[in-house]
Structure 1
């Protein structure tokens, strides 16, 4: 299957946005929903009921779908089972859940190590922990920031190693930067965390590892057991399903022993509340306080099955809305195809952008060492003006610090412009976006009478073919 062409026309046929002439290249922020997911959401609404507490047929049916959704997420990640999967609203909330669950375990003199590559959501919670929360309890805990090479965008592993010591409770690292595109060597980061010698409450002598997978999971085969991360967080709104669902996949024994993030409702063992004792429910419901986003969870899990179809059999449903088991090799094959297509688009963008005068691209130059985005600046041009000019021509990009303020500051920047690609983008769209930038740099705006967004008629491209 991996040698077959990527049928981009068949993939795009599942989405409504191309019919509006939209050229969507802000996918690192949020991806577009396939038509099947919005239709599935609507079809589930008439049978909606709450989960886990009802005796009605509707409640029992919805509970099965909701619990099956956790199973699907676990199988997609090759996690041991649903007990490892807690659902939240997004990556940010999942990371905060880790922070609060570990809050009382930190000892005076401990530290947390993270990097300047991070999205704000994998730095600010640790800043708050060390500066706002623990000081109120008289505990001194330090956060430490590992730098990156400003020329290559690669994580400085030697500097990271120098920051990790026997008082490092947790190492937090992005799986892929949403600004530089950098994909840190997580196996090497894992090895450094394992060698710290920190004495955890359960007797382990190592630092925990949290991976922000928001940019990693949507375009890369992610096997949590092979990855070796203690915590992995990601969002479905970057994975075709904009229904307010995020995932925390963690080692079962850590979820079992840690305190919950939120209390009340479904996280309580049924009938186990008295004036002097409250018992929590089994995993993963211990981390599901109150009424969850039931329909969002069900449909988001189906997005994973639909993604497998789009990557391998876009003309028919093989996994979507079926009970067909998801095997790791199936996920590996599908996600490798997604990654290869994204790499083709990114390589094309890097090659063509390099020819534009005054344009600086940030991060690794090798598309195989980065995720499917390109952030850049042009001398003499405000990045926000570039994004507005692209929008006038129908290209949806993004300008700003992309919630990666630390990395921008490290490079002496306040903002950059970014193009980010997904499995439904075409080489023609990449070319058009770069052509628009070329006109803007040359001082030529869109000629009067030219349509704001041109219709792109894609054709199947063989992955690996010359650009």
Structure 2
């Protein structure tokens, strides 16, 4: 039984009127009507931030900076000084890679996992195999295995971390398996290496890809003691390319910027021989940012609380209580877990269908059907009005490790506005296409997953 008033929640969205069964939410969620309307209300007073004297510029700047406060509250970060915004999770992770680039020493290593989205593997592969070798520096990229059920092999991870491990990169929740690694254990393993960081710490830094974690769980970055965490708003109701990087303040203060240019420089502090950086977090915000996107995206968090709880935080900028955030995400997690369990029960009754990942998972199920192309499955589901996703979901390492040929699966994923009827329609559609699709339809080719 749902812990949410789903029909009330759905009344805030326009997609139900189309008859769509929206079950591809791990890629992107649907935008509530209020966010689109908010964008329209903001537009007449739009101006650039941090560099204008007009009333419109001051107003927009205040809203923009307050958005950082809301984001910090959502993660229980100490302040906005720990927050940087980018286009997406991918760019946020790349920002960490380029910020740390010059601090790697010959003989260092980076540890990541076979469970990662390409965005949390390919930058580190490129760093170790392509970028640093051009500077004559040898840095190894080590990859931890996953277990048969799709959970992270923590013993193997531990065996890869040593005193030369500068950075551990780990998903908070797999977008293929739905598995959530025990980040407290990963943190302890990263600490055990004892790498001497330039900031004076003796531990491996920990970067968490939170693209699937933050939309499904109440995340407390201080309790997790992560050094970096990245996520995207397009998976949290906002229809914009806005990604977030949380980083500990002393790291953002010490790290080199990813991008250089306007607004990240202290006012008037450029000479032919020196440049001084702006205060945090603007040191890591070169050029004109996605101003309205950031403002509306932060309001998506406040609206999410209102959709779930009887509150009125949307369109305001006051403090967002931690208890409200945690209760909101607890209720969302309960509802989507019930949907996922219902889906898993239905899928088990379909002959030849193999789901991937552990029993306890985030609200997604990736699967294959023996003798049927995942792309054919997705196309057949679409003809019956059910939206899924076929491909490697950019979890390419895991698909290859499982020996899938092509390296692809079909995936259903759920959000707070999904109903049990959505799940039943998806499972019923799979029952009808499973026997008939075997001889049908081309294999197709994988396309990159959106981040």
TM-score (norm 1): 0.92
Alignment partner, residue 67 of structure 1: 65
Q: 1:250 to 1:21 in 2, by over 3 A?
A: same
Residue equivalent to 2:322: 328
1:330: Cα distance to partner? 1.3
Report the counterpart of residue 304 of structure 2 in structure 1. Answer: 307
Q: What SS class does the counterpart of residue 412 from structure 1 fall into?
A: coil
Gaps of 5+ in 2: 439-451
How do 1:2-401 residues align onto structure 2 when only pairs under 5 Å count? 5-149=3-147, 151-313=148-310, 318-364=312-358, 366=359, 369-401=360-392
> Using the alignment, how far apart are the partners of 1:22 and 1:352 within structure 2?
20
Query: Counterpart of 1:104 in 2: which secondary structure?
Result: helix
1:391-433 Cα distance to aligned partner (Å, 9 max, x none): 0000010100000000000100110000010100000010110
Q: 1:421 aligned to 2:414?
A: yes
Aligned to 1:443: 436
| Cα separation, partners in 2 of 1:142 and 1:304, compared to 1, 3 Å | same
Q: CA deviation at 1:443?
A: 2.4
Runs of 4+ in 1 over 4 A off after TM superposition: none
Q: How far is the alpha carbon of 1:326 from its aligned partner?
A: 1.0
CA-to-aligned-CA distance 1:79-136 (integer Å, 9 cap, x gap): 0000000000000000000000000000000000000000000000000100111011
CA distance in 2: counterparts of 1:271 and 1:444, whole angstroms: 66
Cα distance between partner residues in 1 of 2:401 and 2:256? 36
Any idea what SS the aligned residue of 2:167 has? strand
Instruction: Give, in angstroms, the shift of residue 4 of structure 1.
Output: 8.8
Residue of structure 2 equivalent to 1:454 = none
Separation of aligned partners in 1, 2:51 and 2:434 = 61
Deviation at residue 380 of structure 1 after TM alignment: 1.1
**Structure 2 Cα separation of the partners of residues 126 and 94 of structure 1:** 13
- The 3-state SS of whatever aligns with 1:79 is coil
Residues of 2 paired with 1:235 and 1:55: CA distance? 31
The alignment partner of 1:195 has SS state of helix
Shift of 1:23: 0.7
2:128, 2:251 → 1: CA distance? 21
Q: Please give the alpha-carbon distance, in whole angstroms, between the structure 1 residues aligned to 2:17 and 2:324.
A: 31
> How far, CA to CA, are the matches of 1:111 and 1:205 in structure 2?
15
Give the drift of 1:294: 0.3
Superposition TM-score, scaled by structure 2 size: 0.95
Partner Cα distance (1:79, 1:152) in 2: 33
Separation in structure 2 between the aligned mates of residue 261 and residue 442 of structure 1, nearest angstrom: 51
Secondary structure of the corresponding residue to residue 351 of structure 1: helix
User: Secondary structure of the residue that 1:442 maps to in structure 2?
Assistant: helix
For 2:266 and 2:437, how far apart are their aligned partners in 1?
66
Deviations 1:147-176 (A, max 9, x none): 001x21110000000000000000000000
Matches of 2:70 and 2:354 in 1, distance apart? 41
Q: How far apart are the structure 1 equivalents of 2:385 and 2:411?
A: 15
How far off is 1:444 after superposition? 8.4
1:328 is displaced (CA, Å) by 1.5
Aligned-partner SS, 1:297: helix
**Aligned residue for 2:441?**
none
Per the TM alignment, residue 42 of structure 1 is displaced from its structure 2 partner at its CA by 1.3
